[in-house]
C-alpha cells in the first residue's frame, strides 16, 4: 500500500457525516444550557431559604457557648445528685481491660472503672443483697478505718551510734627498706 492509497482510505474512513438532526440537537442543548444559570440561581435560593428556615425552626434554646479558655472555667463540676453509676452485668463494654460505663447519647459524663474494681464492687453489692454482709456493722468498720487513716505514726528515733574513729597507723621507727 502506497501513501496515496493510505491517504485515500483514511479520508474515506473519516468522511462520516453526522445525522441532520445533530446540529439542531446541539443548538437545543446550548439553549437549555443558557437557561440553566437562572434555574441554578433559583435552586440555590431555595436551598438557602431551606437552611435559614431549618435554623430558625430547630435553633436550640440554650446554645452552648464557651466563653473562657481555662480548663477550670470550662469544666463545671456536676452536683453529686446528677452523678449516678449504673451497672449492667450482662452486657459490660470492655475496652482494653477497662469497663466503660458509657451513657450513650446521654449528657451524663462517662465513667471509666477498672474491671477488677467493678467486679469487687458488684460482688460486694451482691453480698449485701444476699445479707452475707450486715450493713449495720459496716458503719463501725468504716469508723475504725477512718481512725486508722487519721493515726499518725511517730518516726522511730535514730539510735545513737558512736562514730567510728580510725586512727592513722604510726610507727616509732622510720620506714626503711628491708634487707634482701
Residues that bind other proteins (CB under 8 A): 1, 3, 6-7, 9-19, 22-23, 25-27, 29-30, 33-34
Closest contact distance (angstroms) between CB of 42 and other proteins is: 18
Provide, rounded to whole angstroms, the least separation between the CB of residue 10 and other proteins.
4
Residue 38 Cβ, how far from other proteins at the closest point, in Å? 12
C-beta closer to other proteins: residue 7 or 144 = 7
Name the residue nearer to other proteins (CB basis): 10 or 51.
10
Determine the distance from the C-alpha atom of residue 13 to the mean position of all C-alpha atoms in its chain, rounded to a whole number: 67
Residues linked to residue 111 through DSSP beta bridges, in sequence order: 101
CA distance 1 to 15: 20
For other proteins, give the closer residue by CB, 29 or 110: 29
Q: What's the gap between Cα 111 and its chain centre?
A: 13
Cβ closest to other proteins, residue 27 vs residue 132: 27
Helix (H) or strand (E) holding 100: strand 98-101
- Are residues 133 and 107 in contact, defined by beta-carbon separation less than 8 angstroms? no
Q: How far is the CB of 106 from other proteins (least distance, A)?
A: 50
DSSP letter for 90, please.
Answer: S
Residue 118 and residue 100 in contact, taking contact as beta carbons nearer than 8 Å? no
Q: Which is nearer to other proteins, 32 or 52 (CB)?
A: 32
What is the smallest separation between the CB atom of 29 and other proteins, expressed in angstroms?
A: 5
- The CA distance from 116 to 113, in Å, is 8
Minimum Å gap between C-beta 46 and other proteins is: 22
Q: 5 vs 95, which CB is nearer to other proteins? A: 5
Q: Which residues contact 112 (CB under 8 A, 6 or more apart)?
A: 98, 99, 100, 101
Amino acid at each position: 500500500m502506497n501513501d496515496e492509497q493510505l491517504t485515500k482510505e483514511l479520508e474515506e474512513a473519516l468522511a462520516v457525516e453526522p445525522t441532520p438532526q445533530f446540529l439542531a440537537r446541539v443548538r437545543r442543548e446550548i439553549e437549555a444550557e443558557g437557561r440553566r444559570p437562572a434555574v441554578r440561581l433559583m435552586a440555590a435560593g431555595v436551598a438557602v431559604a431551606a437552611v435559614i428556615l431549618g435554623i430558625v425552626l430547630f435553633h436550640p434554646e440554650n446554645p452552648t457557648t464557651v466563653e473562657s479558655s481555662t480548663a477550670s472555667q470550662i469544666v463545671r463540676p456536676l452536683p453529686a445528685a446528677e452523678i449516678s453509676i449504673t451497672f449492667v452485668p450482662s452486657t459490660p463494654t470492655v475496652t482494653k481491660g477497662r469497663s466503660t460505663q458509657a451513657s450513650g447519647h446521654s449528657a451524663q459524663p462517662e465513667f471509666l472503672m477498672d474491671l477488677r474494681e467493678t467486679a469487687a464492687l458488684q460482688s460486694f453489692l451482691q453480698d449485701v443483697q444476699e445479707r452475707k454482709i450486715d450493713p449495720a456493722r459496716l458503719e463501725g468498720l468504716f469508723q475504725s478505718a477512718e481512725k486508722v487513716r487519721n493515726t499518725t505514726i511517730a518516726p522511730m528515733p535514730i539510735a545513737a551510734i558512736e562514730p567510728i574513729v580510725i586512727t592513722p597507723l604510726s610507727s616509732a621507727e622510720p620506714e626503711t627498706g628491708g634487707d634482701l
